[in-house]
Amino acid sequence: MGAPYPNPITPTKTRVGWIGIGVMGGAMASRLLNAGYSLTIYARNPSKCVPLQSQGAHVANSPAQVAQSSDVVFIMLGHPPDVRSVVLDDNNGVLSGLSPDCVTVDMTSSHPDLAREIFTVARARGCWSVDAPVSGGDIGARDGKLAIFAAGECAVVKWLQPLFEILGKVNYMGQAGCGQSCKIANQITISSNLVGLSEGLVFAEKAGLDVKQFLGAVKGGAAGSNAMELFGERMVQRNWGGGFVGYMVKDLGMGVDVVEKGEDDKVVVLPGASLSKQLFSSMVAIGNGLHGPQGLITAIERINGKRPL
């Protein structure tokens, strides 16, 4: 027997499921295993399960089977259609197997409308749903320092705190869908930061500055930011790993979609986000969609006539 909401969450009683074992999901699931929780996992590519299996995770054959074995099911996928299929499929989806009072937590950067739809379906089946996308990249996932934007029923989010605190710092954003809206706004902000950081580095190099010295000099002033801490050194070192810029295109695109679908009094103009999306899209177009977001500097370099390494 498990311990669904509102029974206290403990490593000995709470059964945890995890679906999606990529760069982020694998690191986050590993932290829960190291904290002593029993984990049932699923991935479309079974080979991705091997590292977590070696830590003691159990492998399920479908999302529904994960749900049947779990009190809390975390989901960390790539795109909203993946989430829809994994959660809402009538035969093998998470909600088809989740018991009453159990909780699904979608940490994918997905669409607010889908988060609200999942919440409605979950409640109709006596379950709970929380949308809780994250920010902090692969380093934040590895070190348990993610910013978590959680939304849904406030009491359920508070109940999940023992699990969230293993992954990072949770921020309650409001009703279902607000977590995803916060993540879109986060991506709009970070993308503009990355454009500025990339342009600053390209200008510094063209001006004859040592770019490492440049970073060291400005990071303590007003130009300093978490974006600089996370990505500045990687830009200098030409280290493009740690993420997929294609996801940034997806996230910024959802921001544009929100604007296009919104009522007249909710429409906002986002010129910076539109420019950022085009720059990231240019990376995808030339085959660099698997680079981390710090690879944006290569787009700025190309505009300035430099062939990136």
**128-131/134-135 β-pairing:** unpaired
DSSP for 240-259, please give it. --SS-HHHHHHHHHHHHHHH
Phi, psi at 145, each rounded to 5°: -125, 35
Given the residues 183, 206, 261, 266, the one annotated as active site: 183
DSSP assignment letter at 231: I
CB neighbours (10 Å) of residue 26?
21
The two three-digit tokens of residue 244, written as one number: 């997929």
Scan for tokens 């929780």, then name that residue.
Answer: 37
Task: Specify whether 250 is catalytic.
Answer: no
Q: Is the peptide bond before 6 cis (omega within 30 degrees of 0)?
A: yes
**Torsion over CA of 288, 82, 39 and 49, rounded to 10 degrees?**
-50
Q: Which residues are catalytic?
A: 183
